Each structure stands twice: as structure tokens, then as C-alpha cells.
């Protein structure tokens, strides 16, 4: 998986995870159905793991997780362009 795929996949997992957590929390309280809440938690953990493992510079391999905002044009560590 390249860094660009990892970036979008982790955003998707974070969003899906939060939505599932909120809906799961409601269903756990009202209907005692707890699996959506656990699924949401798992999606967030998977999003964090995707960020940590795959959102990295393809040249130097350093994690881009500390870069704020969207995908940078250049790696802040080795200075090479990220295409």
C-alpha cells in the first residue's frame, strides 16, 4: 500500500469508526446491541495502524503522520517530492 492510499484509507476508517461508535453507543443504550460500537472501535484502531504502518515517505521511509493537513508535496525529512 502506498502512502496516498494509506492516507485516504485511514481517513475513511476514522470517519466510519466515529460514525459507528456514535450509532453503536445509541444502539447499545437503547436496544442493547453492542456490536456496532465494537466495530467502530476496531475501525478506529485499524485507521491508526494504517497511519502508523503505511503513511510513510516512499523515499526515506519516515512516517508522515506528524505532517498536518493534507498530503505534503515534499517530504519534510528528506526533501524529495512526493508524487
The one among 60, 65, 71, 72 contacting Zn ion by CB under 5 A: 60
- Which residue in 52, 1, 46, 49 sits closest to 20, CA to CA? 46
Q: Which three cell numbers stand for residue 66?
A: 506528524
77 binds Zn ion (CB under 5 A): yes
For Zn ion, the closer of residues 19 and 78 by Cβ is 78
- Span interacting with Zn ion, options 9-17, 25-33, 41-49, 60-68, rule CB under 5 A: 60-68
**Closest-CA residue to 1 (of 55, 67, 75, 39):** 55
Residues of this chain that interact with Zn ion (CB under 5 A) are: 57, 59-60, 75, 77-78
Amino acid at each position: 500500500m502506498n502512502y496516498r492510499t494509506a492516507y485516504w484509507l485511514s481517513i475513511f476508517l476514522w470517519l466510519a469508526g466515529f460514525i459507528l461508535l456514535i450509532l453503536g453507543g445509541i444502539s447499545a443504550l437503547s436496544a442493547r446491541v453492542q456490536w456496532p460500537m465494537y466495530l467502530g472501535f476496531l475501525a478506529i484502531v485499524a485507521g491508526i495502524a494504517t497511519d502508523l504502518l503505511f503513511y510513510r515517505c516512499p523515499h526515506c521511509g519516515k512516517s508522515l503522520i506528524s505532517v498536518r493537513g493534507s498530503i505534503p508535496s515534499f517530504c519534510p525529512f528528506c526533501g524529495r517530492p512526493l508524487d
